Amino acid sequence: MNARQLALLALQKIERQNAYADLVLGHLLANSSLIPADRHLVSELVYGITRRRRTLDALIDCFAQRPAHKQPPDLRLILHLGLYQLAFLDQIPASAAIHTSVELARQMGLGSLTGVVNGILRAYQRQVLDQPEKDPLKPLRDARQTAARSPIQTLGILHSFPDWLVSLWWERLGPVETEQLCAWFNQPPHLDLRVNPLRADVNKVIQALAAAGIPALPISEVPGALRLQDHAGDITALPGFAQGWWSVQDASAQQVVHCLDPQPGERVIDCCAAPGGKTTQIAQHMQDRGEIWALDRHPHRLRRLEENAHRLGLTSIRSLAIDLLPLSAAADRVSGTESLPPAPLPPWQSADRVLLDAPCSGLGTLHRHADARWRQTPERIPELAHLQAQLLQVAARWLKPGGVLVYATCTLHPAENEEIIQAFLDSHPHWAAEGDPLLIWPHRQDRDGFFIQRLRRYG
């Protein structure tokens, strides 16, 4: 298969099987003999089209005789491929994008519809690309188009997000910042590193990467964090990976452990630990001295944590496969954790610090997961919030008086963040928030969206 054929196959699997884009793409590329440039094109097409699905459908609506949702499924995907190349990939000549899309239609047995593909794509080329301003989304900004839509719908179409998400951000940020946030989420994700101070320092890693032709810059607000300026390819082949000098971790995620601030010799519990980015950072922060319990309900993901810890040379981490939800059953029946008995399974009495990086909707990391904007729904948020509240109840039981608990998520939804914390504090009089929560907005700080709240137990 060539690159576009493979991309079409991936898109078909994603749509027909409701499969995750990264899993489908990873499997297909692993079994492909494409050269690196073509593999990169496949990734760009699959992830880009998955993100921009709503925008591409709207463009089809502008140029086709029947709307996108009434097109034959394979024809719709081929039009997505052609329009995405024309609208968003400047390096591909329009003639190549059109010709290869027509050929795809022929190869898929849609010979009678090749004229439709050619006509729609050439109409887009004439009316958009051949015009002086060359605005790729000009047809969607047309006054007749926008007059029939609300401002929320217009932003959702232009930036390819569901209306409920645009509305959520609009209420908190207003129209200008909402558009900035939408645009930010449509950019390729950054690649940040966390330097392992037990084996290297920031300057050593910067110099090693520079010698390999990969510039990296420190992130001033986050100690030990670096951002690669230009890299594509196998991360494990970079200087220092095998030696355990660094790990891949977004700067926002690194701030969670800085807020926890674990100290050498302490006992720390990481409640939802796998695959271990924050767990290994805790160990590094503690100079690998102390007792760190990494908990997760998925044993196979804990094995990845153990592999990472071994590569980084860390010995203070102990992993335990445990489902925390059964432990929350009593917490649901009793008001306040202080009256509950100690949890029966974990082999400790209490901890100096506890981290709960809770499972969440991931609305702060939509740029990293192309299909996440379509998978999450408003109905899913209350389910996640209930889960998060249960996990917080359990995590709180293991903290000794005077200890610190950090609650964190990579979402921007208040029902999973501020409302969880407020409900917990309302029912736990011996707890208090230490300082205001840290809410990281991606378009303001140019990194993943995160919520981080530090809590202290006083009784």
Q: Which of 86, 115, 147 is the last residue of a domain?
A: 147
The residue that leads in pLDDT, 231 or 178, is 178
Question: Per the domain annotation, does 156 fall within a domain?
Answer: no
Q: Which of 182, 271, 272, 410 is catalytic?
A: 410
Mark whether 405 and 286 lie in a shared domain: yes
Question: Per the domain annotation, does 304 fall within a domain?
Answer: yes
Mark whether 142 and 278 lie in a shared domain: no
Which pLDDT score is estimated for 144? 76
Q: Which of 202, 217, 248 is the last residue of a domain?
A: 248
Question: Per the domain annotation, does 166 fall within a domain?
Answer: no
Mark whether 208 and 342 lie in a shared domain: no
Mark whether 437 and 389 lie in a shared domain: yes
CATH of the domain at 132: 1.10.940.10
Q: Is the pLDDT of residue 335 over 50?
A: no
Mark whether 304 and 196 lie in a shared domain: no
- Using one digit for the tens of pLDDT, what is the confidence trace for 207-255? 999 999 999 999 989 999 999 987 767 889 999 999 999 999 999 999 9
- Using one digit for the tens of pLDDT, what is the confidence trace for 375-397? 999 999 999 999 999 999 999 99
Q: Could you tell me the two tokens for 276?
A: 């271990």
- 271 in active site: no
Mark whether 92 and 120 lie in a shared domain: yes
Structural domain boundaries enclosing 344: 251-457
**Band of the pLDDT at 346, cuts 50, 70, 90?**
low
Domain count, the chain: 3
Mark whether 255 and 244 lie in a shared domain: no
Provide the whole-model pTM: 0.92
- Using one digit for the tens of pLDDT, what is the confidence trace for 37-61? 999 999 999 999 999 999 999 999 9
